[in-house]
């Protein structure tokens, strides 16, 4: 295999498996610090690059990396003074393969450790994104609107808390108490994949898939509840429409113009099964969001969408968990439901929010509202603002296309 192909394979493995391998290593060697385990894995990936170029990529590359990192860990712990009496026997067996199921088990354990109630909510989220999902610190900083240094400090405090509080990297007995946090974390992961906040790619399907896997594992392990099913349904409905967000030329397509023949009917049917199986009263925010996504998926075309019912669901959702992102979606639903004045008032009110005033999607939405209302001057003003507020070229091109329509 050529060096370029090996590099590509190693890069792919690093993105997909670094977090799960780290979890497995920390689980097997509980006396390792996070930083030590990370350094060992970095060295193991470098070793893989050298060996696989010289020989060939093994049949189980993740198992190979696990064995190599395990051996490196044994060498390290032998040098540490607290291991003067030798390495525990269960840690010496470094030659076994680690299959996908074993890696997933350790990942689920780390997920619950990161959701430990002694950790602050933001720390829980950031630890998970770093050590379960292996997101880069820069991406996490962007998602939380804080500095890279701020993320590093939170990670340091989180690692220290796990060590000093002796938090086990396993699925603990009080798992159900942690489910609300777990659900929020999984949904945050999915949303980062569905619409990335950082990096060259607008969509990161591997993050969406990982979020779906984590939620499905909760259900398969008998840990999940009805809210887990609703969240799973919501992510399935959104995943079903991923491919239609781009046309054949790779350009962004809005919901109004998507080719619904590309929607994955299998995922929609599976989502419907889990949504119907999640019924409970009172409904939670995930139930309502999933119901909104379900209504979109059921509509044969944009014009047939039941915007009236969707506005009712958004109103109920906002009464439970008000935030500007939901309010913007509510404004869009109101506009297409024929309540244009109310939609304009709500969208313009969001401009008073210091963050949303700089949010490209709000200004793009207002631009489209004014364009559809026949006010080309204001439409152009908001489209120009929106272009300057996104770093994704594909979004800039999409908004530029809308802007051009106000001129022609």
- What confidence score (pLDDT) does residue 201 get? 67
More confident residue, 84 or 307: 307
Asked whether residue 356 carries a pLDDT value surpassing 50, the answer given is: yes
Residue 185 in tokens: 């974390």
Q: Average of pLDDT values for 192-220?
A: 81
In 3D, which of 308, 279, 283, 305 has the Cα closest to residue 294? 305
The structure tokens listed for 96 are 């076994």
Query: pLDDT at residue 99 above 50?
Result: yes
Mean pLDDT of the chain: 87
Q: Is the pLDDT of residue 85 over 60?
A: no
Q: What angle do CA 218, 220, 222 make, to 5 degrees?
A: 70
Q: How confident is the model at residue 229 (pLDDT cuts 50, 70, 90)?
A: very high
18 or 257, greater pLDDT = 257
Could you write out the DSSP letters of every residue in 281-342? SS--HHHHHHHHHHHHHH-SSGGG--HHHHHHHHHHHHHHS--HHHHHHHHHHHHHTT-HHH
82 pLDDT tier (thresholds 50, 70, 90) = low
Nearest to 325 by CA among 378, 285, 385: 285
What is the per-residue pLDDT for 94?
A: 44
Structure tokens at 44: 């193991």
Residue 246: strand, helix, or coil: strand
pLDDT of residue 35: 87
Tokens coding 404:
């051009």
Residue 33's pLDDT is 84
Angle at 81 between CA 80 and CA 86, to 5 degrees: 80
Buried b / exposed e along 147-163 (16+ C-beta atoms within 10 A): eeebbeebbeebbebbe
* Model pLDDT for residues 43-68, shown as the tens digit of each residue: 999 999 888 888 888 888 888 998 89
> 377: which residues sit within 8 A by CB, 6+ positions away?
none
pLDDT at 339 (0 to 100): 97
Mean pLDDT of 400-404: 93
- pLDDT (tens digit, 9 = 90+) per residue, 144-194? 778 899 999 999 999 999 888 888 777 766 567 889 989 998 998 898 888
Q: How confident is the model at residue 398 (pLDDT cuts 50, 70, 90)?
A: very high
Which residue in the block uniquely carries the two structure tokens 């189980």? Answer: 60
- The rounded distance, in Å, linking the Cα atoms of 6 and 74 is 27
Instruction: Give the mean pLDDT of 123-133.
Output: 87
Kindly state the average pLDDT of the residues 371-386.
95
pLDDT at residue 207 tops 70 = yes
**Cα angle 126-128-130, degrees, rounded to a multiple of 5:** 70
The pLDDT of residue 189 is: 86
Given a cut of 50, whether residue 95 has pLDDT beyond it is no
- In 264-274, which positions are buried (b, 16+ CB within 10 angstroms) versus exposed (e)? beebbebbbeb
Look up tokens 């974390």; give the residue. Answer: 185
In contact, 10 and 51? CB cutoff 8 Å: no
Tell me, what's the pLDDT at 285? 95
Cα–Cα distance between 143 and 121 in angstroms, integer?
15
């Amino acid at each position: 295999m050529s060096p370029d192909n090996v590099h590509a394979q190693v890069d792919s493995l690093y993105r997909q498996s670094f977090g799960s391998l780290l979890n497995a290593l920390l689980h097997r060697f509980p006396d390792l610090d996070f930083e030590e385990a990370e350094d060992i894995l970095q060295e193991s990936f470098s070793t893989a690059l050298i060996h696989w170029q010289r020989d060939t990529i093994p049949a189980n590359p993740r198992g190979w990396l696990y064995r190599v990192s395990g051996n490196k860990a044994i060498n390290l712990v032998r040098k540490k003074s607290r291991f003067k009496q030798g390495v525990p026997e269960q840690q010496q067996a470094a030659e076994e393969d680690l299959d996908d199921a074993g890696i997933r088990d350790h990942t689920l354990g780390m997920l619950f450790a990161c959701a430990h109630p002694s950790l602050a909510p933001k720390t829980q989220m950031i630890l998970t994104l770093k050590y379960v999902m292996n997101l880069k610190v820069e991406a996490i900083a962007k998602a939380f609107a804080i500095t890279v240094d701020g993320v590093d400090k939170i990670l340091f405090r989180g690692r220290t808390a796990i060590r000093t509080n002796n938090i086990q990297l396993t699925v603990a007995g009080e798992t159900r108490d942690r489910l609300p946090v777990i659900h929020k974390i999984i949904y945050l992961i999915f949303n980062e994949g569905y619409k990335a906040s950082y990096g060259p790619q607008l969509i990161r399907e591997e993050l969406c898939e990982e979020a779906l896997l984590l939620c499905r594992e909760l259900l398969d392990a008998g840990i999940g509840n009805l809210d887990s099913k609703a969240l799973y349904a919501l992510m399935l409905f959104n995943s079903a429409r991923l491919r239609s967000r781009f046309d054949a030329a790779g350009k962004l397509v809005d919901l109004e113009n998507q080719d619904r023949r590309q929607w994955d009917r299998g995922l929609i049917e599976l989502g419907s099964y889990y949504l119907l199986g999640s019924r409970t009263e009172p409904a939670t925010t995930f139930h309502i969001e999933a119901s909104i996504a379900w209504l979109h998926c059921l509509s044969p075309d944009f014009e047939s969408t039941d915007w009236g019912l969707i506005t009712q669901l958004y109103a109920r959702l906002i009464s439970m968990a008000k935030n500007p992102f939901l309010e913007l979606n509510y404004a869009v639903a109101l506009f297409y439901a024929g309540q244009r004045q109310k939609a304009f008032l709500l969208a313009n009110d969001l401009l008073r929010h210091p963050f949303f005033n700089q949010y490209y999607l709000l200004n793009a939405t207002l631009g489209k509202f004014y364009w559809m209302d026949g006010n080309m001057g204001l439409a152009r003003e908001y489209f120009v603002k929106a272009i300057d507020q996104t770093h994704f070229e594909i979004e800039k091109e999409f908004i530029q296309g809308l802007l051009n329509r106000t001129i022609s």
